Amino acid sequence: MRASAIAYGEYTVKLTLVNRKGNPETLLSESAQAIPPSGIRQFFDIVYSTPDCISLGVGEPDFVTPWRISDTGIFAIKDGYTHYTPNRGLLELRTLITAAIEKQHGVSYSPDDEVVVTMGVSQGLDIALRSVVNPGDEVIIVEPCYVSYEANIRLIGGVAVSVPTYAGEGFRIDIDRIRKALSPKTKAILLNYPSNPTGSSIDADTLETIAKIAIEKNLIVFSDEIYSSIIYENEHRSIISIPGMKERTVYLNGFSKSHAMTGWRLGYVAGPKYFIDVLLKIHQYTALCAPSISQYAAIEAMQNADREVAHMRSEYTKRRNFIVSRFNEAGLPCLSPQGAFYVFPDVSPTGLASEEFALKLLKAQKVAVVPGGVFGECGKSHIRCSFANSMENIRTAMKRIDKFVKSL
């Protein structure tokens, strides 16, 4: 019998492997076993068994895919466009993607060899990390952050180095903390703005400073900008727009959030040719290509769905304003997000940690929220609530939350 313990963020997973002849359990990957279940999915296993529950936890638009996009997908099936596409994705789609990046950020990419269409940003980030990270390499992540980042890094033998941000600082990045996190093993910095779960954006000065650090220390920057189309007061700026950063930035985006296409599983990675050449090889062997039907639908999305995207953003703005005011009125301090469709209120005034708050709220009032601790140690006093839900459901949920807080 062999026992070991692997530290993973706030978790320590004990592994006991029995060297018993014929026992297939001994053959499982230790790194895969060491990863705890997704904090979000694990919690929602409970939610799905709770009747009449209102969920503010799901991180996807409540809108259906605009009909013109869906119709294009249906016609693609009817017309027989159901075969493999080039590994990189349809050239027409890649051309539209590079044109959109240039229009928004003023940065030119070649559709021929500087972009790959992927099965969502999740797959794109996975193969992007595998293109850069060797066992033992360190990747700086800014917490609170999306739950899969650390797992993706750990699965390829990398080390995720967390840099915390706090509500009292507006969830802004403290550059001194970034500098302290650097080591000779640092290979990359992973950014996600607008942020899931906080909805915070990154200011120009911080972006410029991170760019200087990346150039000075010869680092890659992974920039997950999946929420860049859901911005409220200010315009979104990408780090690729800073001189010298296109050459060392992996730009990730997609259609799931902006066009309500989560189930279509389509995203893309843009980067310098030297990087895309390596990423494409991994993509060829692990995925071959993104779904052809989704790619044809995405062409329609990029050409003719701006009005629908603007409508969804307008509805999110109304919901954001309402939910932020109601949380603050309930005595749970809540910053107004600058992008995405999440709020990250502080539940510490109740005296409860985030997981306890979430479980008791679910049991008492049948409202589901995500405990903030799953996004990093610095999120433990918060909960994540999605306002990608109907205003009616949000109103009802906030009444229940207010009642729950008053009962404590």
Average pLDDT for 387-403:
98
pLDDT at 11: 47
* DSSP 3-state of 345: coil
pLDDT of residue 166: 98
Residues 371 and 280 in one domain: no
Place of tokens 């309930």: 330
pLDDT in tens, 342-376: 999 999 999 999 999 999 999 999 999 999 999 99
Pull the structure tokens for residue 104: 């928004």
Query: Domain span at residue 237?
Result: 82-305
User: What is the mean pLDDT of the segment spanning 151-179?
Assistant: 97
- CA-closest candidate to residue 390, choices 61, 69, 66: 61
The per-residue pLDDT for range 91-112, each reduced to its tens digit, is 999 999 999 999 999 999 999 9
| Residue 39 reports pLDDT greater than 80 | no
Residue 91 and residue 216 in one domain: yes
What is the arithmetic mean of pLDDT over 67-81?
A: 98
Report pLDDT digits (tens) over 287-323.
999 999 999 999 999 999 999 999 999 999 999 999 9
126 plus 268 within the same structural domain? yes
Is 204 domain-assigned?
yes
- Spatial distance between the Cα atoms of 370 and 44, rounded to a whole number of angstroms: 9
Q: How confident is the model over 241-260, as a mean pLDDT?
A: 98
- Residue 350, CA atoms < 13 Å, CB-side half-sphere: 28
Tell me which H or E stretch contains 267.
strand 267-270
> Within 10 Å of residue 183's Cβ, how many Cβ atoms?
10
Residue 6 lies in a domain: no
Burial of 37 (0-12, 13-18, 19+ CB in 10 A): exposed
Residues 276 and 128 in one domain: yes
Q: Is residue 176 part of a domain?
A: yes
CATH assignment of the domain containing 143: 3.40.640.10
Q: Which of 273, 305, 337 is the last residue of a domain?
A: 305
d(CA 372, CA 40): 10
The answer on pLDDT for 16 being more than 80 is no
58 and 88 assigned to the same domain: no
> 168, 174, 171: which is closest to 193 by C-alpha?
171
Quote the CA–CA distance of 30 and 43 in Å, as a whole number. Answer: 24
* pLDDT(17) > 60: no
Query: Could you give the percent of the chain with pLDDT greater than 70?
Result: 94
Choose among 225, 239, 220: nearest CA to 194.
225
Residue 75 is assigned to a structural domain of this protein: no
Q: What is the predicted pLDDT for the residue at 42?
A: 65
Residue 72, domain member (yes or no): no
> Is the predicted pLDDT of residue 12 greater than 60, yes or no?
no
99 shares its domain with 242? yes
**CATH number of 358's domain:** 3.90.1150.10
Percent residues over pLDDT 90 in the chain: 86
Contact 10, 150 (CB under 8 A): no
Confidence check: pLDDT of 128 > 50: yes
Report which of 284, 290, 296, 244 is spatially closest to residue 268, judged by C-alpha positions: 290
Both 121 and 265 in a single domain? yes
- Hunting for tokens 């044109």 — which residue is that? 99
Q: What is the pLDDT of residue 8?
A: 44
Q: Does the pLDDT of residue 44 top 90, yes or no?
A: no
In a domain, 293, yes or no: yes
Label residue 80 by pLDDT band (50, 70, 90): very high
Distances (CA, A) of 170 to 29, 165, 354: 40, 8, 19
Residue 9 has pLDDT above 70, yes or no: no
Same domain, yes or no, for 301 and 314?
no
Looking at the structure, tell me whether residues 102 and 213 fall in a common domain. Answer: yes
Domain end (from 305, 340, 362):
305
- In terms of Cα–Cα distance, which of 145, 173, 133 is closest to 373? 145
Indicate if 195 and 237 belong to the same structural domain: yes
**Residue-level pLDDT at 287:** 97
Same domain, 235 and 321: no
pLDDT score, position 36? 80
pLDDT on residue 43: 67
Over residues 50-66, the mean pLDDT reads: 92
**Is the residue at 163 inside a domain?**
yes
Average pLDDT, rounded, for the chain: 93
Among 9-18, 197-206, 211-220, 254-263, whose mean pLDDT is lowest? 9-18
Please give the structure tokens belonging to residue 234: 């200010």
DSSP result, 159-222 = EEEEEE--GGGTT---HHHHHHH--TTEEEEEEESS-TTT-----HHHHHHHHHHHHHHT-EEE
Same domain, 261 and 164: yes
Number of independent structural domains in the chain: 2
Nearest-angstrom CA–CA distance, 358 and 188: 34
